[in-house]
Structure 1
Amino acid sequence: MAGLLTGKVALVTGASGLLGHGIALCFARAGAAVVAHTRRGDVTALVSRITAAGGRAVGLRADLSEEDECHRLVHEAAEWGGRLDAVVNNAGVQPVQDLASLTAARWRAVVDLNLTSAFCCTQAAAAVLPAGGSVTHIASIEGTHPAAGHAHYSASKAALIMHARSAALEYGPRGIRVNTVSPGLVDRPGLADDWPEGVDRWTRSAPLGRLGRPEDVGDACVFLASPMASWVTGNNLVVDGGISARPTW
């Protein structure tokens, strides 16, 4: 991937989290200047790591539950980079709560951050992206495969997939591509200790026999933002080690 995005500028939302951090590093390794967004987290170490390796990066804060903040973030990203070529809508939350006890307020909180923020950032980005620019939403395999306690999360991710297809349709004539990446279970420090039965079940079921890594998702995002994917839009790229290929009966 080295040099694939040289001269490009990419905005990655939610870059203070493990997955967003990994995505941002993949873009930097591909040669892109990276705008690392965070709401309350710290991206200082991420920015320092990129710049120490000879890349360009900056951290920007914004509350993406607010429409104006989404537009401000995109504007400032383009202003810092002198252009904006790619946006990865990664910011999101994944609370667990059963439907019987779920309130409308908690439902809206998940939908607003996971879905509405992507809509707002994409709308803002479409005004500044050049022909050939791209937007990638981080969805989930739970957007097509529900899980107990994840109804609000799964619904928001399913809607992200359809939003990307709709945006691909409407922004395509302007040369802007919109896709989604749907990861499976991505490893994090301590996950095997916190959820040993789930990790064991996954690794035994996945054809590739392992959990995902942040760079697995990041590489998929780099591909979709690159000229290699110049005729790919409205697509949902599943990155799950083959778990979705397992029969459920």
Structure 2
Amino acid sequence: MPVVSGLLAGQVALVTGAGGGIGRGIALRFAEEGAAVAVHCRTSVEAAREVAARICGTGGRAVVLRAELTDEDACRRLVLEAAEWGEGRLTALVNNAGVQPTRELDAMTAAEWRAVVDANLSSVFACTQAAAGVMREIGGGSVTHIASIEATHPAPLHAHYCASKAAVVMHARSAALEYGPHGIRVNTVSPGLITRDGLAEAWPEGVRRWERAVPTGRLGRPEDIGDACVFLASPLASWITGHDLVVDGGVSARPTW
């Protein structure tokens, strides 16, 4: 069980792609630590409502907001809606929404490449830019992008995904440089393999390989990523920006030879 300490008391956070999986874990941990949470979804409306209901059922504040994040204008509307719901305040943004299709490079089309880049990178740019505009007015805030260990450890069939996540890491470092003077910190969290319903059945060989390789002996959990995001949005990380926090159970430390 997470340790609840009110680290984010008084904060208003927007978590994209918060209907399930990692996003759900992040939204719940933010709420447990005292933040009011705008729960974004694209199509998983019922799942997002369940997350919001769980937050409200334990005395927290949450709202469900829908948006297609491959649309730049929709990104801006989403951020403004979250800030309006927060009575003019948005102190934290977690850019979690993204896609992870598989495709061989030889067979990949430019349209398929662009679809992944738009979902994973362009949306991060647009949401962050819009959030920074709000955060400047209130004296600062924090932005956390969910990247991946595949930003530095590529996997077959994931060229578009790996490239987009590597770019997300560099976007955060660039944004940290430019937004720092405005009191806005920008970081990334790079997860390893995170468990989800049906994963062990759908990919048993991969799960077994991971469990053999990872020093901590298990897959990650959504709340592991939520904990990292809570830390980066909290006062404990007030002098941390432009950093990529790897949360992978130590698998990246494993020798490759």
The alignment's TM-score, normalised by the length of structure 1, stands at 0.99
Q: Does 1:56 align with 2:61?
A: yes
1-structure distance, mates of 2:132, 2:78: 13
Structure 2 equivalent of residue 123 of structure 1 = 129
Kindly state the Cα deviation for residue 2 of structure 1 after the two structures are TM-superposed. Answer: 2.7
Q: How does 1:83-94 map to 2 (within 5 A)?
A: 83-94=89-100
Root-mean-square deviation (CA), in Å? 0.7
**Please, which of 95, 98, 105 is the counterpart of residue 101 of structure 2?**
95
1-structure distance, mates of 2:130, 2:95: 12
1-structure distance, mates of 2:202, 2:152: 25
CA distances 1:171-229 after superposition (whole Å, capped 9, x unpaired): 00111000000000000111111111111111111010000000000000000000000
**Please, which of 9, 17, 20 is the counterpart of residue 6 of structure 1?**
9
The alignment's TM-score, normalised by the length of structure 2, stands at 0.96
AA partner of residue 58 (structure 1): V
Q: Does 1:241 align with 2:257?
A: no
Structure 2 equivalent of residue 177 of structure 1 = 185
Task: Count the aligned residue pairs.
Answer: 249
Structure 1 equivalent of residue 200 of structure 2 = 192
2-structure distance, mates of 1:96, 1:204: 24
Q: How does 1:89-168 map to 2 (within 5 A)?
A: 89-129=95-135, 130-168=138-176
AA partner of residue 106 (structure 2): A
2-structure distance, mates of 1:203, 1:113: 29
Structure 2 equivalent of residue 78 of structure 1 = 83
AA partner of residue 8 (structure 1): Q
1-structure distance, mates of 2:118, 2:219: 28
Task: State the identity as a percent.
Answer: 70
Work out whether residues 132 and 230 of structure 1, in 8 Å CA contact, stay in contact via their aligned partners in 2: no
1-structure distance, mates of 2:140, 2:239: 10
Kindly state the Cα deviation for residue 132 of structure 1 after the two structures are TM-superposed. Answer: 4.1
AA partner of residue 172 (structure 2): A
Structure 2 equivalent of residue 23 of structure 1 = 26
Instruction: Flag structure 1 segments of 5+ consecutive residues without an equivalent.
Output: none
2-structure distance, mates of 1:138, 1:54: 27
